[in-house]
Chain A
Amino acid sequence: MTTTSIERNEAGAPLISVRDLSVSYDVARTGKRLTAIEGVDLDVHEGEFITVLGPSGCGKTTFMNVVAGLVKPTTGTVLVGGSPVTGPGPDRAVVFQDYALLPWRTVFDNVKFGLEMQKELKGAGWRERVQDAIELVGLAGFEQSYPRELSGGMQQRVGLARAVVAEPRILLMDEPLGAVDALTREVMRDEIEKLMAATGKTVLFITHSIEEAILLGDRIVVFKSHPGAIKEIIETGLERPRSERSIQHDPRFLELRDHLWDALQGEATAAAVSK
Chain B
Amino acid sequence: MSAFLAAGPNLGRGGIGAWLAGLSPAGKAGVLAIEVVVMLVVWQLVVGVFGWINPVFLPPPTAIAQGFVELVSGGMLWPNMLISAQAWLIGFAIAAVIAIPVGLLMGSSLPMDRVVGPIAWTIYATPTIAYQPLAKAWFGFGIGPVIFLVAVSALFPILLNVAAGMRTTNASIIRAGKVYGASRTQLYRSVYLPSTVPFLFAGLRQAVVLATIGMVVAELAGSASGMGALIIKAANTYQTDQAFAAIAIVVAWSVGMTQVVTLVERWVAPWTRKGRR
Contacts and interface: CB of A to CB of B under 8 A. Distances in A.
Interface in B176-228: 176-183, 186, 190-191, 194-195, 197
Given A96-B172, A100-B175, A104-B269, A149 B181 contact: no
A98 B172 contact: yes
B197 A88 contact: no
B275 interface: yes
A146 B179 contact: no
A237 interface: no
A120 B47 CA distance: 71
A51 to B, nearest CB: 20
Interface residues of B, number: 24
A94 interface: yes
B269 A117 contact: no
A166 interface: yes
Interface string B239-277: 000000000000000000000000000000111000111
A94 B197 contact: no
User: Could you tell me the dominant secondary structure of chain B's interface residues?
Assistant: helix
* Residue of A69, A87, A101, A148 ringed by the most chain B CB atoms within 10 A: A148
A200 interface: no
A68 B180 contact: no
A114 B177 CA distance: 8
Contacts of B182: 117
A86 B269 CA distance: 36
B41 interface: no
Nearest to A106: B271
Nearest to A146: B271
B93 to A, nearest CB: 25
Contact of B181 (A70, A88, A100, A148): A88
B173 interface: yes
B10 to A, nearest CB: 19
A128 to B, nearest CB: 19
A96 B275 contact: no
Contacts of A101: 173, 176
Interface of A: 68-70, 87-90, 92-94, 96, 98, 100-105, 113-114, 116-118, 146, 148-149, 162, 166
13 contacts: A88-B178, A89-B181, A93-B179, A100-B172, A100-B175, A100-B176, A102-B176, A104-B194, A105-B271, A114-B181, A117-B181, A117-B182, A146-B270
Q: Please give me the 10 A-B residue pairs with the lowest Cβ-Cβ distance, nearest first.
A: A100-B176, A114-B180, A149-B275, A100-B172, A104-B194, A117-B181, A117-B182, A94-B179, A104-B271, A146-B271
